[in-house]
Amino acid sequence: MNASLFTCFGQRQFHPRPRRQLWRVRLHVEQLETRNLLSFGGTPYAVGPTVTPTTTEPEAEEHIAVDPNDFHNLLIGVTDNGIVRLGRHFATAKYAFASDNGATWTERYVPIDPVSERLPTADGRSWTNTQDPVVAIDRAGNAYLANLYLNFDPVASAIHENGVYVGVTSIKSLGKLATQAGSGFTAAHTFPVVVNADPNTPFFEDKEWIAVDNSTSAFGGNVYVSWAHLAGVPGDQFKGNEQILFSRSSDHGETWSAPIEITSLKNWQGGIQGSQVAVGPTGEVYVVYADHFFDGSAQLFLSRSADGGVTFSEPVAITANFHTLSFASTYPKNSWPSLAVSPTSGDVYVVYADQPNKKVGAEVELIRSTDGGATFSAPAAINDMPVGQQFMPAVTVDEAGVVHASWFDTRNSPSDSSAYDIYATFSTDGGATFRPNARVTPNSINVGASGFIGDYAGIAAGGGFAHPVWSTGRYDTRTGGLRTATLTDDPPGMIVRGISAVPARFSTWDGALGAATPDGRGDDFATIFKSPAPALTASVLAALRAAPGPASSVWPGPGDISLKGPTTVSAGARDVQPLPPRGEAASLDQVFTMIGWEEGERSLSLFRPSVKPLDWAPDWLAGDMLPDTVLPNSAFAG
C-alpha cells in the first residue's frame, strides 16, 4: 500500500512510513549480479486506443484480471481518492467490469453504507478506508476483490483497527452492474482474512495480493492471499518488525485459514515488502517478496508450496543483491517484484526494477525458472532502450504460454521523471526473446510534482490480447485517473478454439461452401466448411466484417482481412498447431475448420467428426473436440 504516502490535498493522509533509515543494516553491498542480454525482434503489439474505465479522480494502485472462461470479461480494481465521505477524501477502492474485451466499462465503489458513509463488511464491522485492491477470477465463474480495510483518525493521524478482506461475487453478477442494483460486490460477501480489532493495535497488515488456483489439480478452486504484517509499537505500527504472511481458502473465499509465516518475524523494520502469490499448472503455489537493506541494496526471495498452501519451503534468494531505485523524482518508487507462472509449462517469471549502478537509469529485469523455482536465470532487461528510467513493472502469462509485461518508462523524457509513458512487450518462446517494446500511451503522462503515483500496476492477458492498466497520477492537483488499452500480440493473429467455444445456431453465407445444420442453441451464426476448406470468398469476408460485434476490438485489426493462399486454413494446414498440454494433437487431415463468432468474437474452431466425415447431418455434434489452438500471424495477410 505505502498507505502513508497516499496524499490528500498535498498532505500525507497517513502516518509517514520510514524507509532507509529503518532498513536492516548490512555493512557492504555484495557484488552485483551479472546480466543476460535479450534479443528483440519481430512484430510488437498492435496498440488499441486508450480507454478510461472510471469517472473519478485521483486514482492509483490499479490491478486487472481476465476471465479464464471468456477472455472478453475483464475486472479492474483501483484505489480512488475522489469521493467525499465522512467529510473528507478518504481512500475508497473501486472496481470496473467490461464484457467486450475492454472497450466499455461499468464502475462501482466497494459497498458504502448510505447513512454512516462507512464501509461495511460481512463480519459486522465498518471502516473509513479501503485500498490496495487486487482482483482475480476463477474457472467456476467467481470474481474476487482483495483489499486492505482500516480505520483512520485524521486528527491524530493514526491508523487504528485494520485488516485484509476479500470480496466475492460472480461474473454473472458483474455483468448486471449497469442494469441491476445490488449486483457486484456486496458487504455480505466481503469476508475477513485477518483483522486487528483492537483500536490501539500495534499491528498493521499491508500490501496484500490474491491468486486463484485455476489448475485441474486436487487444489483447483483454492484462493490464496499473501501480505506484509507489520508489528510495530503502540501508536506507530511502522516502527517495528515485519514479516510476510499467507492464508488460503478452500470454499471460494468465504472462510480463511489462520495465517502462516512465509518469513519469520524479525527486526527488519520495514525492509521486507511487496509480496505476490501465483499458482502453477499442477497446483503449486509460489510467493515472492523483496528484502531491502540499509545500504540501498535489495534481494528477492521465493517460497514454494506443493500441498495447496498448507506448508511452504524456506524462502530462498532468487537474485543477488541489486541497487534499488535512486533516480530523482517527487514520487516514491520501489523494486518490488511481479510474479507469474505459465499455465502450459509451469515456468516461473519474475520482473522487477533495479538500477544497475548509481550512474545509469533504472531497468526492468526479468528472471525465469524452468525447474519449479529451484534455480533462476540471470536477470535480463526487457526494455529495449537503456535511455531514461524503467520501473513499476507487471507480468502475466496467458493460456497459450505467451509472456506479457508492461511498465512505466521515461525514455521520451530521460531527464524528467515527472513525464513517463507506459511500454509493453511479449515473448512467444518462454522469455528467451522478446518483441520490440511498444509504446502504449499516445502521449506522455505528466504527473508534475505529484507525491504519489501508486506502488504497483497490473497487466492481464488472454485470447491473443493483453490489457495493461495504469493511472495518470496527479495527486498534487487531485487529478489523474485509471487508464487501460487493449494490445494485440502477434497481430493479426487469431485464437483457434475447440468447437464447444461456439454454442451457436449454424447457417451459411455462401452456398458453394456446403450445407449447415441449425441446432437452435443460440442467436449467433457460424459457417461450417468441408475438408479441405476452400478459399474464403469475398462474400464470406464481407459477412464476417458485417457480423454483430466490434470487429476492430476482437477480430484482429480493422479494415479488410484476408487469408494467405487458398488452403492455408484447411485440413492439413501446417500453420494450424495444437497447443500442448491441452489434449491430443489429432491428425489434421481429419479436421474440419469452422469460422464463427459468439457474442462478437471471431474465432477459428477445429472439429474432428466421429461419424461420416462428409456427412453434415445433425449427428456431427457427437464429434470429439480438439484442443485450443493458435493460428499464427503467418496465416494472415494485411
C-alpha cell at position 444: 506522455
Residue 331 three-state SS: coil
Torsional sign, CA 456, 438, 417, 474: negative
Q: Are residues 531 and 572 in the same domain?
A: yes
Q: Are residues 479 and 501 in the same domain?
A: no
Q: Name beta bridge partners: 417.
A: none
Residues of the chain with pLDDT under 70: 1-35, 233-240, 265-270, 358-359, 490-638
472-490 pLDDT per residue, tens: 978 888 889 999 999 988 6
Q: Are residues 418 and 555 in the same domain?
A: no
Q: Are residues 434 and 568 in the same domain?
A: no
Q: Give pLDDT, residue 23.
A: 33
Q: Are residues 461 and 606 in the same domain?
A: no
Contact in structure between 95 and 135 (CB atoms under 8 Å): yes
User: Rounded CA gap, 312 and 299, in Å?
Assistant: 19
User: Rounded CA gap, 185 and 174, in Å?
Assistant: 8
Q: Which domain holds residue 299?
A: 3-488
Please count the structural domains in the chain. 2
What are the phi and psi torsion angles at 622 (to 5°)? -80, 0
**CATH number where 448 lies:** 2.120.10.10
Contact in structure between 606 and 498 (CB atoms under 8 Å): yes
Helix-, strand-, coil-residue percentages of the chain, each rounded to 5: 5, 40, 55
pTM: 0.77
Q: Are residues 191 and 167 in the same domain?
A: yes
Q: Are residues 181 and 282 in the same domain?
A: yes
Q: Are residues 368 and 511 in the same domain?
A: no
Burial of 222 (0-12, 13-18, 19+ CB in 10 A): buried
Residue 356: Cβ within 10 Å count: 18
Q: Are residues 61 and 169 in the same domain?
A: yes
Residues whose CB is less than 8 angstroms from the CB of residue 86 and which lie 6 or more positions away in sequence, other chains included: 117, 118, 128
Q: Are residues 511 and 475 in the same domain?
A: no
C-alpha cell at position 284: 503449486
Q: Which residue, of 441, 465, 488, is where some domain finishes?
A: 488
Q: Which residue, of 464, 488, 512, is where some domain finishes?
A: 488
197-226 pLDDT per residue, tens: 999 999 999 999 999 999 999 999 999 999
Q: Give pLDDT, residue 476.
A: 80
Q: Give pLDDT, residue 540.
A: 38
Q: Give pLDDT, residue 83.
A: 92
Residue 113: Cβ within 10 Å count: 12
Q: Are residues 59 and 190 in the same domain?
A: yes
Tell me how long the chain is: 638
Q: Are residues 464 and 498 in the same domain?
A: no
Average pLDDT, the chain: 76
Q: Which residue, of 488, 516, 541, is where some domain finishes?
A: 488
